Amino acid sequence: MSTLVATDLDRTLVHSARAAGPEVPGDVLCLERRRGVSTAMLTRRTAATLVELARRATWVPATTRSVAEFRHLGLVPGIGLGVGPTPRYAVCASGGVLLVDGAPDPVWEARVRELLADGVPVAEAADLFARHLARLAPGTTGPVRDADGVLLVARVADPAADWLDDLAADCGARGWRVATHGAKVHLLPARLDKSVAVAEVRERVAAARLLAAGDSPLDADLLLAADDGVQPADGALHAAGWHAAHVAVTRGVGLAAGEEIAAWLLARASEA
Ligand SMILES: [Mg+2]
């Protein structure tokens, strides 16, 4: 059976030094460093498992990272750091960009333009976001960043529920939606998420089955769209009490959970 495996990256398969959890046996590979600190690591075992997974199934990284941030990972030429095959497809900006052989896919770009046309333009959504951020205490928010012209993100220290409700209501009236993940608040076109971009890939490769893994509210649609899925025990979704009958939860956390998730996906992808 042809299988598509779509996985989030950060805090699902790769972890920053801060999110790495207890030490794990064996080598740890660093895919990204910022200001001297490891911001994306995985174990050599996870990397080897992903290389094998990519042989048995179509593996699609599906990340909230912008294209530039994704390329920064050094994931291409491969998980496996030059050892494994480069994933043919990758979803960036929570579905806003579909990379095919490393380049943005023009057909998907046109589809995203259609989704964006349901709401106000990105610049208008960014202004609205900035106005809401300005209501918060000085020093508790960061600037609005734009990922690939389709996803807006700002850091907000401890966003209050009523502030988020106000923002969500204003966004909803303009064809946008709000997704929070830790100290990050994201604005996306209302009908865009990772699952719609992954569905596009699934159609293209005619995959009979979809497996997924993810840790955050931005992965919930993807996990729900999958036939089977897995989430880490230390993920934001799990912490929020989110669960689904077809979504397993790891025993371990941090880098160990990354190993478990890769092994879980490989085992499922190897079935029949
Ligand atoms: Mg994540």
CA of 63 to the centre of ligand 1 (A): 7
pLDDT in the model for residue 73: 82
CA of 5 to the centre of ligand 1 (A): 15
pLDDT in the model for residue 30: 87
CA of 166 to the centre of ligand 1 (A): 25
Give per-residue pLDDT as tens, 153-195.
999 998 889 999 999 999 999 999 999 988 899 999 999 999 9
Q: Where in the chain is the domain with CATH 3.40.50.1000?
A: 3-112+192-269
- What single-letter amino acid sits at 82? G
Where does the pLDDT of residue 134 fall: very low under 50, low under 70, confident under 90, or very high at 90 and above?
very high
pLDDT in the model for residue 77: 43
| In contact, 119 and 175? CB cutoff 8 Å | yes
Mean pLDDT of the chain: 92
CA distance 81 to 30: 10
> Which of 61, 95, 67 is closest to 80 using CA atoms?
61
38: Cα within 13 Å, side-chain hemisphere: 16
pLDDT in the model for residue 192: 95
Give the count of beta carbons closer than 10 Å to the beta carbon of residue 115.
Answer: 18
Q: Where in the chain is the domain with CATH 3.90.1070?
A: 119-189
CA of 220 to the centre of ligand 1 (A): 11
Identify which of 18-22, 46-50, 83-87, 259-263 has the greatest average pLDDT: 259-263
> Which of 94, 105, 67 is closest to 189 using CA atoms?
94
pLDDT in the model for residue 272: 63
pLDDT in the model for residue 1: 67
CA of 8 to the centre of ligand 1 (A): 6
pLDDT in the model for residue 165: 96
Give per-residue pLDDT as tens, 59-76.
999 999 999 998 888 653
- Second-level CATH architecture of 119-189: Alpha-Beta Complex (3.90)
- State how beta strands 151-155 and 145-147 pair: antiparallel
CA of 231 to the centre of ligand 1 (A): 10
Where does the pLDDT of residue 93 fall: very low under 50, low under 70, confident under 90, or very high at 90 and above?
very high
Q: For the purposes of burial, counting CB atoms within 10 Å of the CB of 134, is it exposed (0-12), middle (13-18) or buried (19 or more)?
A: exposed
| pLDDT, mean of residues 125-133 | 96
Q: Is the peptide bond before 77 cis (omega within 30 degrees of 0)?
A: yes
8-state DSSP, 242: -
Give per-residue pLDDT as tens, 221-258.
999 999 999 999 999 999 999 999 999 999 999 999 99
CA of 10 to the centre of ligand 1 (A): 4
pLDDT in the model for residue 181: 85
CA distance 115 to 96: 10
CA distance 134 to 128: 10
Give per-residue pLDDT as tens, 203-228.
999 999 999 999 999 999 999 999 99
- Second-level CATH architecture of 3-112+192-269: 3-Layer(aba) Sandwich (3.40)
Residue 201 φ/ψ, nearest 5 degrees: -65, -40
Structure tokens at 88: 């043919």
CA of 164 to the centre of ligand 1 (A): 21
Position 16 pLDDT exceeds 50:
yes
